[in-house]
Amino acid sequence: MKLGVEERWDLIDRISKETVTFGVYRHTLKDAIGELTIKPMTGIPVAIAILYGFWSVFGSFAGFFTDGFFVRLFDAYWLPWLQAVFPGEGGWLYAIMVDAGGIESGEFVLSSNCLESFGVLTSGLFVAIGVVLPAILIFYLMLAILEDIGYMPRLAVLIDTMLHKIGLHGYAIVPTILSLGCNVPGVTATRILETKKQRFIMMTLLAIFIPCGAQIGIMQDVVPDLMGWILLYLIIGYFIFGYILNKVIPGRAPEFLIDVPPYRRPMLSNIGKKVLGRVKGFFMVALPFVMLGCAIVGVFYQLGVIRFLGDLLAPIFVGWFGVPAETAGPLVAAFLRKDLAVAQLSVIEMTKYQMITAVVLVSIYFPCVATFVMMLKEGLKELIGALAVLAVTVFLYGGLIHLIGKLLGVA
């Protein structure tokens, strides 16, 4: 028998009365906390406190293991042993694999630490294992805890209005935060966004303005007192150029629906699987490209390519960006290895504002090789568009930072 619309609703009512029972709802402390952390008035201060705690634990843990253990292990044992046993001291293979020894001066002198040796087996391994591993381990551990207790959806809701200004929605915070560990999973995570416009904007902003764990670890190690200013410039650039891209790029930016679950106790098995999977992904995808980038930089230095390009581009770096001519070489090398470029910049004499400018330029430069490959997988057209935006952004934003410094009298 075919039922009419009203008869269907009557049937639904009868079934629900027979099957559904209503209890007394009790407002628990967990419910109250959940409501407080999703309302802007109380949720935003809580979010700032959580992110501040996140950053504090990240910096303390990574710094403790890097400076307290890995620096001693690599500098006191691994580097001297390799310098002694690897054949051909002073030769091109020795310089690429172990120690470039005065790469800028042209006079070979054995390095005293792995950070300045710029060899694949020394700087390459030290950055990957001694700097990046502790950083991404604690980063992904804290991120997994926040995900498992149910806080990330609340953060997405809180930041949704702000991200809509740049054509994205609240869940874009996920690839953004993932990229602070490694840009590769961050670019992959852009697939959760619905439209091509959103994915392009997100991928471009990640490649330009979000430093990865390797670079953050090096900055934390060599320019810790300038980290706040560097990150502030990157955050401002993220929203300025995101807003411009949203206005220029055609397409739609739809609203999003998200389930906000109740807070729950984190499960160690879930956290362990997430952390293990993400760290394993870094070593399988990003680490080989870190080593490859280190090798390519070494070869280019030996062939004089970096020095030639540095001399060629020095007038632009000095005149437009306001940084010393000596920074041209490391800034060119940053196209392949941002972390080692920051390490090279740290030994060049310049003012604090020039150092801030130089490190920001390194950050907004060409993405690392692994990120480049992941962007290529998302589409050649999108990659070319992202690189065009990147070139314009580097030139304009670098010049703007220099102009701000001149106006403030600190450049």
pTM here?
Answer: 0.76
Q: How far is CA 253 from the centre of its chain?
A: 24
Calculate what percentage of the chain has a pLDDT beyond 70. Answer: 93
Burial (0-12, 13-18, 19+ Cβ within 10 Å), 118:
buried
* 397/10: higher pLDDT: 397
In 3-state terms the chain splits into helix, strand, coil percentages (rounded to 5) of 75, 0, 25
In whole angstroms, give the CA distance from residue 50 to residue 147. Answer: 13
Between 241 and 385, the more confident residue is 241
Please report, for residues 4, 93, 180, 328, 368, the alpha-carbon distance to residue 202 in angstroms, rounded to integers and kept in the order given: 48, 40, 14, 29, 16
Sequence letter at residue 403: L
Q: What would the pLDDT profile of 199-244 be if each residue is shown by its tens digit? A: 888 888 888 898 877 778 778 777 888 888 999 999 999 999 999 9
Q: Could you tell me which of 335, 334, 317 has the C-alpha nearest to residue 326?
A: 317
The two three-digit tokens of residue 62, written as one number? 């990574």
* Residue ranges in 190-319 assigned as alpha helix (H): 196-209, 213-222, 227-248, 268-281, 287-303, 305-319
Instruction: Give the phi and the psi of residue 118 in degrees, each rounded to 5.
Output: 60, 30
The CA R_g of the chain, rounded to the nearest whole Å, is 25
- Under DSSP, is residue 118 helix (H, G, I), strand (E, B) or coil? strand
Amino acid in position 40:
P
| Residue that is written with structure tokens 């490959």 in the block | 373
User: Could you give the CA distance from residue 60 to residue 217 in angstroms, rounded to a whole number?
Assistant: 11
Find all residues with CB under 8 Å of 401, minimum gap 6, and list them.
Answer: 233, 321, 356, 357, 360
For the chain, percent of residues with pLDDT exceeding 90: 6
Query: By the 8 A CB rule, do 95 and 256 touch?
Result: no
Over residues 44-90, the pLDDT tens digits come to 888 888 888 887 887 777 777 877 788 888 888 898 898 888 888 77
Rounded Cα gap, residues 11 and 15, in angstroms: 6
What is the structure's pLDDT at 52?
A: 84
Highest mean pLDDT among 38-52, 173-187, 334-348, 358-372: 38-52
pLDDT of residue 237: 92
Pairwise CA distance, residues 368 & 345, whole Å:
18
Of the candidates 73, 79, 76, the residue with the CA atom closest to the CA atom of residue 133:
73
Sequence-ordered list of residues with C-beta below 8 angstroms from that of 224, at least 6 positions apart, any chain? 59
